Amino acid sequence: MARVIKSPEVRSAELLDCAQRLFFQRGYDDTTVNDIIREAGLSKGAFYHYFASKEALLEALAARIARESLTELEPMLEDPSLDAIGRLNALFSGSQRLNVELAPQLRKTFAVVFRPENVVLFHRIDEAARELALPMIARLLRKGSEEGAFEVPDPITFADMLLQIRLIFRDVMHRALRQAEGGDLEEAAHLLEERLRIYGIAVDRLLKLPDGTIEAVEPGFGRAFLGEKS
């Protein structure tokens, strides 16, 4: 049978597809490079041609998931029927909806990248996600400033600040996941929702808005995200 020649982009995407399927089914720790290349039908040499390690593949996969999520959220940010604050709230509610829809898979990924020993991997993944999100958030803030909804003298810097504040959720999410796995779902959900509520207040104050203007968390999100069984 003739060997099928595929472009590097297609091969790379196939490896990511296989890795995503296996990571979400078995978990990151229980999936080996051999498992991935067997699923993809490639040699180990071909794998390392595209990705230097399993960690590099996870980083690329996280960036792809972030890119797909932002693509789905972008129409909300361009909705002409919403004002600037409505668009910002739509971003939060849309993000939570996606997180709930992907909850079983995301929990398995977060359980790995939020561990204290994986802090370097977490920051690499977060940096890739921030690079994708920064222009979108900055554009939203610029429009809001032009509309007079809030005062943002430097949209890029403010967008970066909003994204940087999110870093506090690494330890919070790790703790909430461990609590939920240990059977204390209610306390874990409360912890997650309370931190998101405070994050919303921080955004309000950064943008000089009344507390509670930005709805960073919807009631029941913590339980929906942490409690759904895979």
Residue 1 clears pLDDT 60, i.e. is over it = no
What is the rounded distance in angstroms from the CA atom of residue 52 to the CA atom of residue 17? 17
pLDDT digit string (tens) for 140-190? 999 999 999 988 999 999 999 999 888 888 888 889 999 998 999 999 999
What is the rounded distance in angstroms from the CA atom of residue 35 to the CA atom of residue 48? 14
- In sequence order, which residues have a C-beta less than 8 Å from that of residue 45 and are 6 or more positions away? none
**How many CA atoms lie less than 13 Å away from 153 in the CB half-sphere?**
0
pLDDT digit string (tens) for 108-120? 778 777 877 777 7
Q: Token digits for 197?
A: 């509520």
Residue 208 clears pLDDT 70, i.e. is over it = yes
- Mean pLDDT for the chain? 86
Quick one: pLDDT at residue 230?
Answer: 43
Position 207 confidence tier, pLDDT thresholds 50, 70, 90: very high
Q: Token digits for 137?
A: 């958030």
Position 228 confidence tier, pLDDT thresholds 50, 70, 90: low
User: Is the pLDDT higher at 52 or at 106?
Assistant: 52
Helical packing angle, 155-165 and 185-206, nearest 10°? 160
Can you give the pTM of this predicted structure? 0.77
Quick one: pLDDT at residue 157?
Answer: 94
Distance spanning both ends of the chain, measured CA to CA: 40
